[in-house]
Amino acid sequence: MSMRPRVRFAPSPTGPLHMGGVRTALYNYLFAKKLQGDFILRIEDTDQQRFVPGAEEYIIEALRWCGIAPNEGVGFGDGPHAPYRQSERKDIYRQYAEQLVQSGHAYYAFDSAESLELQRKAQEAAGSAFSYNSATRLQLTNSLVLSEADVRQRLQSGEAFVIRLKVPENETIHVQDIIRGDVHVVSSQLDDKVLFKSDGMPTYHLANVVDDYLMKITHVIRGEEWLPSAPLHVLLYRSFGWESVMPQFAHLPLLLKPDGNGKLSKRDGDRLGFPVFPLNWTDPVTGEVSSGYRERGYYPEAFVNVLALLGWHPSDDQEVFSMQELMEKFSLERVSKSGAKFDPEKTKWFNEHYLRQRTDEQLGLALRSLVKNSFGLEEDDPRMTSAFLNAAARLLKDRVQFEHELVVKGEYLFIAPDQYEEAVIAKRWKPELAEVFEAVINAYQAADSFTEEQAELIFKEVAAAHQCKPGDLLQLFRVMISGHGAGVHLFGMVSLLGKQEVIKRLQRALAVLQASV
């Protein structure tokens, strides 16, 4: 086996990439990068009946968005083992399937679907399940019981057939798994799996073993759902005589629902209001749109960070990792056997963390397009300057989890309120306070400077002159300017809006409040 690790992510283009699939890709990527190895994207499209248009492109785009770029593979450049789509490699698989027949490890089976259905019904009537295996294969229509001449004639006449693996009887097959240790199964529990189908395509079992061998894959890191197939794959390596180059296996734990009760599914996401796909996916048949993390406003760093911790546990209590840190610290030995419970709120927490790491300039740039789309402001509007937008972002960034919330929670920075929070007005407003706020307006009018500190000082001086505690007036003051009883730093907002805008808002609020008495 090569000392340089080579791993692959091998999804089927049968629909959108579930977050469990992205985690598999991520762990393969981190494992390869840590050890200066290669990470390959291979598309396993042997099941043409389940092929979904657009799924392959979705897989490639999802990996790019997450920053999980393969060294070689579909969409990422050819390496020495192209092509990387199994549908383009089918001639390769036929010769290997025939090789197993010649060596006695596989056989031709000519059973029709109808005859197999009759066998199933007969077995069910007898109270047992039918399996094509060592106990039944000699009673069926295959090259183990037919004469060579009969087999030759059937093949030459073009009769439909499949090639099945001849599973040995009563052997214990061992799989050494990096995560789970020694996994073993008695061969009598396995059926003679189809390796090559009548449509000229291999099954997953043959194709993935042949491709892993030809592409010099050293480690197969995949989901737990493939663990039952691992003994079969070990048998295939042995049948080909490739045991010395058989990759090491690591089967990752399941992703569980937030309550820990069962495997996470799209239905759980729809029911509980969180996506399970990295990107939006439109079903090409129904037109139904399933939401993705990207379109919901999550940063790829947050999505990747939470995925990394779904099954892998660092040696310390660190939670936030850059991709570089993940590469340095990741190891399969610290991946758990038990399922990992997904917490959608934790993903929001990670997104909030990464948003707060953004500079004011980065968020100001994001805010520009959001403001333009939400409020229709022209480019020459003072609220569209970089200085205003960056300052607005600085005020808002500690109050949001997503960039799109900047305009939702900060609307009053761009649009003057036309309604005022009634609960605050009912509690705080008294007609005699009109005189105080008119004095604030006059003092602001006369101010030469309108910095945050100066605006606060003037407000406090006016309050003191009218024998009022500033603390009794501040929430009402906020509502008059923003319409809300809570929000960003009050005098930071006042300074950002500027003297004339604050005066205009106070005058309007006073008029409304006095008219309501």
Contact between 140 and 111 under an 8 Å Cβ cutoff? The reply is: yes
Which residues, listed in sequence order, are joined to residue 256 by a DSSP beta bridge?
A: 263, 341
Contact between 459 and 480 under an 8 Å Cβ cutoff? The reply is: no
Within 10 angstroms of residue 462's Cβ, the number of other Cβ atoms is 21
Q: Which two tokens stand for residue 154?
A: 């059937």
Amino acid (1-letter code) at residue 390: N
Tell me how far apart the alpha carbons of residues 32 and 208 are, in angstroms, rounded to a whole number.
Answer: 19
Burial 103-113 (b: 16+ CB within 10 A, else e): eebbbbbbbee
Contacts of 395 (CB under 8 A, 6+ apart): 410, 413, 488, 489, 492, 493, 496
In this structure, what are the phi and psi dihedrals at residue 342, rounded to the nearest 5 degrees?
-85, 130
Tell me how far apart the alpha carbons of residues 418 and 408 are, in angstroms, rounded to a whole number.
Answer: 16
Determine the 3-state secondary structure of 120 from DSSP: helix
Active site annotation includes 266: yes
Q: At 24, which helix (H) or strand (E)?
A: helix 19-34
Tell me how far apart the alpha carbons of residues 340 and 255 are, in angstroms, rounded to a whole number.
Answer: 5
Determine the 3-state secondary structure of 144 from DSSP: coil
Catalytic residue among 266, 329, 372, 504: 266
Q: Please count the CA atoms within 13 angstroms of the CA of 153 that sit on its side-chain side.
A: 5
The DSSP secondary-structure symbol of 168 reads P
Amino acid (1-letter code) at residue 180: R
Residues annotated catalytic, as ranges: 266
